[in-house]
Amino acid sequence: MTSARDIVPISARLLERLEALGTPRDRVLAHAGLAATTALSTEQFFAFWRAVEEVSPRRDLGLVVGAEASERGYSVASAAALHAADLAGALHTLARYKRLTCPEVVELEVARGEAHVRFHWVLATSEVPRLLVDSTFASFTSLARRGTAGAVAPLRIELARAAGDAALLRERLGCPVAFGAPVDRITFAERALAARFVTADAEAFSRVVPGLEAELVGRSRTRSLRDEVRLVIARKMSSGARPSVDQVARGMHVSARTLQRRLGEERTSYQEQLDAVRRTSARRLLANTDLDPIDIAFLLGFEEPNSFVRAFRGWERTTPTRWRARVARG
């Protein structure tokens, strides 16, 4: 059963398009073990996309539907983003209203003349399906090109998975693609954030925003504290910081004591939420990258590798190296 905060709807237009591209809805549902495509949880949504990959005869399916997303109206957030004044405004709009359709967070980091965009599934307990990642990146690159009339393209895309379909991805996304990265992210030149949108429409934007804001307020009332904690932990990790309870509490504008007390009221603890984020990230990095377990340990915020090995044994009943070998064997 899904919770009020973990609901991912699938657009009827997307289902129709998948049918037209040779991926019948009924076969996908059967492969995914789903009865319907309404009110899916994050993991059910992932199962849907994994089933699409199994059923579809096309390796480029995610790229195709993603590139069409803004024109075909699959996402209200993308539609609103096209009305923004520039790429920075589009990113802000997408980040703000994406949460209305799914528990996915859009994050922007600017450093050394580059703007890095990451799409983070807050409630994921498994890796994001390949076609869903392809669709997300194709959708955003298409939005940037359409909004700027082709003036902006990404510098590169980094994927947290093993190499595959490199030529296809480079052709469709229009930039170099690197594999085995710690996280999935797309990078633009920092100056591209100021690129004006030819699709900007202040009047249309002002008509859409009040309704989106009202819905956002309603959704925020159902948000779980543990979800917010996991998101801040993930952000700290992605920035290279060790996510202590004090750091996370400051990021949430409360004291560490208050945070621990409120988590206790939800029958969990900071350590449980930290372990959940670390476990999911560790499994993804071990399965999809060639990073050494020592490097993964530091990426996850462990002070030394042995602490990571002990924690991983507690999660998976084996060492990181043996777990990776077992997954590689299939």
The average pLDDT across 53-58 equals 92
What pLDDT, on a 0 to 100 scale, did the predictor assign at position 233? Answer: 86
311, 271 in Cβ contact below 8 A?
no
What pLDDT, on a 0 to 100 scale, did the predictor assign at position 42? Answer: 87
pLDDT tens digits along 14-33: 889 999 999 999 999 999 99
What pLDDT, on a 0 to 100 scale, did the predictor assign at position 30? Answer: 94
DSSP 3-state of 157: strand
Intrachain domains 59-203 and 225-329 with the same fold: no
231 or 43, higher pLDDT:
43
159, 184 in Cβ contact below 8 A?
yes
Give the separation between CA 1 and CA 4, rounded to whole angstroms: 10
**In this model, does residue 120 exceed pLDDT 90?**
no
**In this model, does residue 123 exceed pLDDT 80?**
no
**In this model, does residue 3 exceed pLDDT 80?**
no
**In this model, does residue 220 exceed pLDDT 70?**
no
What pLDDT, on a 0 to 100 scale, did the predictor assign at position 280? Answer: 86
101-115, 204-218, 309-323, range with greatest mean pLDDT: 309-323
pTM of the model: 0.76
CATH topology of domain 225-329: Arc Repressor Mutant, subunit A (1.10.10)
**Mean pLDDT, the chain, integer:** 87
Confidence category of residue 284, pLDDT binned at 50, 70, 90: confident
What pLDDT, on a 0 to 100 scale, did the predictor assign at position 69? Answer: 83
What pLDDT, on a 0 to 100 scale, did the predictor assign at position 330? Answer: 65
What pLDDT, on a 0 to 100 scale, did the predictor assign at position 182? Answer: 82
**In this model, does residue 159 exceed pLDDT 60?**
yes
**In this model, does residue 207 exceed pLDDT 90?**
no
What pLDDT, on a 0 to 100 scale, did the predictor assign at position 39? Answer: 75
In 3D space, the residue among 188, 107, 179 whose CA is nearest the CA of residue 147 turns out to be 188
pLDDT above 70 covers a percentage of the chain that reads 95
CA distance readout (Å), 328 to 53, 118, 212, 288, 316: 19, 26, 44, 10, 16
What pLDDT, on a 0 to 100 scale, did the predictor assign at position 101? Answer: 73
The average pLDDT across 112-120 equals 92
Please tell us whether the domain made up of 59-203 is placed in CATH 3.90.1520: yes
**164 CB-side CA count, 13 A:** 10
pLDDT above 90 covers a percentage of the chain that reads 50
Confidence category of residue 239, pLDDT binned at 50, 70, 90: low
What pLDDT, on a 0 to 100 scale, did the predictor assign at position 4? Answer: 43
The average pLDDT across 162-170 equals 92
141, 94 in Cβ contact below 8 A?
no
Q: Kindly state the tokens that stand for 250.
A: 């400051």
**In this model, does residue 152 exceed pLDDT 70?**
yes
323 or 221, higher pLDDT:
323
**In this model, does residue 264 exceed pLDDT 90?**
yes
What pLDDT, on a 0 to 100 scale, did the predictor assign at position 5? Answer: 63
Residue with tokens 């699938």: 10
**In this model, does residue 253 exceed pLDDT 90?**
no
* Domain residue spans of the chain: 59-203, 225-329
Confidence category of residue 258, pLDDT binned at 50, 70, 90: very high
